[in-house]
Structure 1
Amino acid sequence: MPDCTVVVISYNDAARLPRAVRSVLRQSLRDLEVIIADDASTDATPEVAARLVASDPRVRYLRRESNSGGCGAPRNDGIDAASAPYVMFLDSDDELPKHACKSLLAEIERTGADFVSGQISRLFESTGRLHPYYPTLFARRRVIEGIREEPEMFLDS
C-alpha cells in the first residue's frame, strides 16, 4: 500500500496535465500513487492520461461520464479510489515541490493532526515568477485546534 495518494483533478487541461503528474512522480517520497480524476474532458486529456498511466504503474486514471461543474466531485472520486491512508490534492495546472509529500507526511505523523497544509506559491506564467499565496498564513509552524482558530486555512486556493 502506498503512503500517500495524490489526486490530480483535470478538466480540458491536456497540455499541463503531464507537468503536474511528473511533479508527483518526482517526489522524494517514492511510495505513492497518482490518481488522475478527469471531470469529463472533451480535449486530449484522456489520451494524455492513458500515456501517463502506461509510463508508470503508480498512475491511475478515472473519468467522469459527465462534467460536474466543479472540483469537489472529481476530488471525491479520487478519495473513493485512493488506496493510501493519506490523500493530497493537486490541480492539473499546479506542481508539487520535490519534498512536498515527504514533508507533509512527516508533519502529520509527528503531530497526529487530522490534516496538514503547506505554503502555496503561485506561478505567474507571464513573468515566470513565484509568489507566496497567503504568506502570513504560513509565516510560522503551528498546530491549530479547529476551523474557528484559523478559518483562512480553509479558503479555496
Structure 2
Amino acid sequence: MDFLNAIPQRDGQVLVEMSPNVAECLHAIARDLLVALETGYRGRRRLRDEDLFPDAYQLARDSAGFRQRHGAAMRASVTAAVRAVVDNYRGQTVFTLDRAWVRAWFTTVAHAPALYVRKPRWTVGTWTRLPVTENEVRLFWLHYTQAALAQACAVSLCEPPVSGT
C-alpha cells in the first residue's frame, strides 16, 4: 500500500513517513524538476516563468512585467530549494524536516506540477476520477504531499484537537 504521513513534532519540525514507492516517486520528481530548472527545458518544451509562477496581477501584461522584473530571482530561489531537496533527500522513507527543510519541500512540491501540465497550474480542475496516467499519479502525490505538510505545520502540539477541525 502506498502512503505518506506528515506528523507534527516539537519546535515546528515534521516527521515524514512514506512507502518506498512514494519515496521513489518524489525523489525522481525532485531530480526531474532540478534538471528542468537548470536546463530551462521540461522534455522538449521550454520551462517558462509563466509555467512556474502564476499571474500576480489581473492583467496579463502587468503579470508579464512582474515576471520580467522578478522572474530570475524567483527562479534562482526555487532552484536553490529544489537543489537542497535533491542533494539531501535520497529517497528515504522516514525522516524529520526542520522549518527550513519544510520550506524547501513546500517549494519543490508546489513548483513540480509545472513539469506535468500544459496549461497553467492555477486553472487545472479537480479530478472526477482516480488518477490513471503516470503524470496524474505524480500530480496526485505532489498535491497530497503538499496538503499533508501544510496540515502538519498548521497543527499545534500545545493545544488539544478541537472537534470539527
With normalisation by structure 2, the TM-score equals 0.29
TM-score norm. by structure 1 comes to 0.30
